[in-house]
Structure 1
Amino acid sequence: MALSILALAGCSGAIPRTGPTKGEIFDSAVQKAGNTYVVEASQPVARATFYSPAMGFSSGFRNAGEIQPDIIHSGDTLGLTIWENVDEGLLGVGGAPVPLERVQVDSSGMIFVPYAGRVLAAGKSPEELRGLLTRKLETQTPDPQIVVTRSAGDGATVSVSGKVSAQGVYPIQRPTLRLSSMLARAGGVTIEPEIAQVTVLRGSQSGKVWFDSLYANPSNDIALRAGDRILVEADERFYTAVGATGRQSRVRFETQELSAIEAIAQVGGLSGIAADPTGIFVLRQEPPEVARRVLGLSNITSPQQVAYIFNLTSADGLFVARNFNIRDEDTIYVTEAPVTQFNKAVAAIFGSLSTVAAVQTVSAR
């Protein structure tokens, strides 16, 4: 009977389990004509696997200077007030000021002013436009006095959406010329700053940075342009933990960098009654440039399946797991200890994991 139990424990399909054994994963390695490279995790391997997908703004974003908020743009709304130095003027009588409110700058950058006609306003400051209108009107009325005001930024606006306190369309003004100040104008982010990502869309270009890098790296605090779209989102990266862990689940990153040991802790650690601490795997699709470094193979040109194995029964193994970074869409798989399979076999025959004494009694008969 004891031999039957051992045979049952050794039969992979005879008893339930959480997944493949450590030996079965090694059997599927490239070295044994499989499709997965199995690599023992070490400090050099942890360094070689360090890879962070590019984030940041291109030079086009970073090198763009601050706009002049007083410059008139298409879409702006202007206010004109005109005084004429005669009792019977072109636009009014008795020398009273003539207000022209909400004069819209059209898509061509033009405005229409009576007796001055269509005038190019876009690209000029209010003072430059005042001078131009004065010259056009003074040929018809003596010494006209004109005041030009601009509803600040009506044409030079950005949209802010996502995880901010007040989503909306905001004018670019002197206090909000740069990304960080515009986010502050929108009430700041409503999620943990460490996991907040900021995307800026400008025409066909886009760039993404971590929110806190706006302050850690001033070059990321870019100058804004009219029409920019700003989106604040939480970090969407995740990893999956399966096998003999405290909790099997799909887990969001809670920090910008996450080590293997931290990822295991996030799901409740290893199962004390089932896990094999010498058979912990991190499974991932490595990009070719990382695969070449890790495997020492210069001819790799495509992504490769790699299974990194950790042994947490030594201090060195724990330090390796602490220095090994988990990446987006990684899978952490913890194999079951051989004794767990034996106990399941015992339970399958005797109905209890605590019947070892009964096994000995039966085998003695």
Structure 2
Amino acid sequence: MLAVACLAVPLAACSSLGASGPSTSSVRKIEATQYDGSDVKIIDLDNQVVRRVAAVRNSRNFSEIFGEAAVVDTVIGYGDALDISMWEAPPAVLFGAMGADVRPPAGISIAQSAALPGQVVGNDGLVSVPFVGRVQAAGRTPAEVQHEISARLRGKANDPQVVVRLVQNETRNVTIIGEVAASRRVPLSARGERLLDAIAAAGGSRQPVGKTTIQLSRGATVAAMALDDIIRNPAQNVRLLPDDVVTVLFQPYSFIALGAVNQNAEVPFEGGGLTLAQALGRTGGLRDERADIRGVFVFRMEDPAALDPSVTATARTTLDGRVPVVYRLNLSDASSLFAAQDFAIRDRDILYISNAPGTDLQKFLNSLSTVAFSAISVGNAVR
């Protein structure tokens, strides 16, 4: 009776052994299912697949997305402060007859000038200038305002000369936030500041360059690149435009490792990117006693541009325009290690390693031997 009871326990346990996830065969059958209204695709990793995925990633750099903005003249905006200075050639008529006790030497005439306190451009876009009146400043360059004031002074002053300078820029700024020494608004000048200029103006990154990512937001367009890539490739150091937002991020990406790896976890990685081979290394590699070397999978919501046209021709996309894809790597083929070395992991990827086919049987046998040993121990104790 004791032997029967002992056998009943493992037989019941056989049907309820735990698992770390779907088997390799179950994952391969996923192509017959859908997610969010889209057909799930399984794609074996090879050189052509790696190249297509890499090409899409390279097309997302700053130079491709934002282009090279032209340097434009400084335009005055609402709230800006102007320094306005006016001169009049001798003999001065309007600005400055000198006091009776201060006269120039005989036979010498000097020019007279008037410097106005800082003039702030109001909500109406105007500034007030003595002897001239209200002048439109917003939306114009300092040179254009200067020219209008000079024109209005003619006939009132003798050969008037005017200089207008923008001394406080409140409208042509970019915002720098995140992992910098001091988040701030950086004014843009006629020089045409670039991305690295603005980061330097904010004190630089507080984190190592190799682990820092730069996110640039311009209107509705948002893109991110590794700071190291921007430094090494001058073409990515794009010129900034007013109202750009630059966010400096420290290791903003992560992937999730599940299944027969030595460490199931969410693993952060740097902006410079991570290959599949590196991802396997950071999780401690495959577990020898459990992993199916033919069942290394990367689950991803993929951009259709990264897929072969024959796949996208029949694939239905999700509501946000992506295709659920499972990339499969067969490590029983030694050449697949090259693909693992070149295939880039992306943010929010799921790296899953399925159990080897004999794992469940091994679990059952281990359970059976454990119960049998316990039964023998109990039997010896009873005797």
Pair 1:77-2:81 in alignment = yes
Residue from 293, 305, 317 that aligns with 2:336: 317
Contact 2:46 2:339 in 1 (8 A): yes
Corresponding residue for 2:245? Answer: 229
Pair 1:342-2:347 in alignment = no
Q: Give the CA deviation at 1:122.
A: 4.5
Report the residue type matching 2:22 in the other structure.
P
Distance 1:211 1:67, change over 3 A: farther
Q: Output the CA distance in 2 between the equivalents of 1:297 and 1:105.
A: 55
Pair 1:266-2:282 in alignment = yes
Q: Give the CA deviation at 1:288.
A: 4.2
SS of residue paired to 2:280? helix
Pair 1:244-2:260 in alignment = yes
Q: Output the CA distance in 2 between the equivalents of 1:344 and 1:68.
A: 74
Corresponding residue for 1:160? Answer: 176
Residue from 30, 33, 40 that aligns with 2:32: 30
Q: Deviations over 1:300-354 (max 9, x none)?
A: 343554434333344223333223333333222112234543342234334389x
Percent identical pairs in the alignment equals: 27
Query: What TM-score, normalized to structure 2?
Result: 0.72
Contact 1:113 1:119 in 2 (8 A): yes
Which segment is superposed worse, 245-254 or 233-242? 233-242
Q: Deviations over 1:60-100 (max 9, x none)?
A: 9434311234x544432122345677999678863886542
SS of residue paired to 2:119? strand
Report the residue type matching 2:196 in the other structure.
S
Corresponding residue for 1:327? Answer: 346
Q: Give the CA deviation at 1:242.
A: 0.5
Contact 1:281 1:307 in 2 (8 A): yes
Contact 1:38 1:306 in 2 (8 A): yes
Which segment is superposed worse, 139-148 or 182-191? 139-148
Q: Output the CA distance in 2 between the equivalents of 1:83 and 1:49.
A: 64
Residue from 78, 94, 100 that aligns with 2:116: 100
Corresponding residue for 2:166? Answer: 150
- The residue correspondences of 1:52-91 to structure 2 (distance < 5 A) are 52=56, 54-57=59-62, 61-69=66-74, 72-82=76-86
Distance 1:87 1:257, change over 3 A: closer
SS of residue paired to 2:19? coil
Q: Give the CA deviation at 1:36.
A: 4.9
SS of residue paired to 2:345? coil
Report the residue type matching 1:64 in the other structure.
A
Q: Output the CA distance in 2 between the equivalents of 1:273 and 1:180.
A: 50
- The residue correspondences of 1:292-311 to structure 2 (distance < 5 A) are 292-293=308-309, 298-302=313-317, 304-311=323-330
Q: Deviations over 1:139-196 (max 9, x none)?
A: 4455666554431534432222222222111222356622222222222223343454
Distance 1:204 1:43, change over 3 A: closer
Distance 1:310 1:175, change over 3 A: same
Distance 1:117 1:255, change over 3 A: closer
Distance 1:105 1:180, change over 3 A: same
Residue from 183, 190, 198 that aligns with 2:199: 183
SS of residue paired to 2:247? strand
Query: What TM-score, normalized to structure 1?
Result: 0.75
Report the residue type matching 1:186 in the other structure.
A
Which segment is superposed worse, 333-342 or 160-169? 333-342
Pair 1:110-2:161 in alignment = no
Residue from 17, 20, 25 that aligns with 1:18: 20
SS of residue paired to 1:351? helix
Distance 1:132 1:41, change over 3 A: closer
Q: Output the CA distance in 2 between the equivalents of 1:133 and 1:281.
A: 71
Which segment is superposed worse, 48-57 or 160-169? 48-57
Q: Give the CA deviation at 1:247.
A: 0.8
Contact 1:198 1:209 in 2 (8 A): yes
Corresponding residue for 1:277? Answer: 293
Q: Deviations over 1:212-265 (max 9, x none)?
A: 444444443333333333333346433211111111112223353422221111
How many residues of Structure 1 are paired with residues of Structure 2 in the alignment? Answer: 351
Q: Give the CA deviation at 1:272.
A: 3.4
What stretches of structure 1 of length at least 5 have no aligned partner? Answer: 359-365
What stretches of structure 2 of length at least 5 have no aligned partner? Answer: 34-38, 103-111, 377-383
Distance 1:14 1:148, change over 3 A: closer
SS of residue paired to 1:278? strand
Report the residue type matching 1:226 in the other structure.
P
Question: How much is the aligned-residue C-alpha RMSD, in angstroms?
Answer: 4.2
Contact 1:346 1:352 in 2 (8 A): no
Distance 1:44 1:136, change over 3 A: closer
Q: Give the CA deviation at 1:111.
A: 1.0
Which segment is superposed worse, 193-202 or 155-164? 193-202
Report the residue type matching 1:150 in the other structure.
L
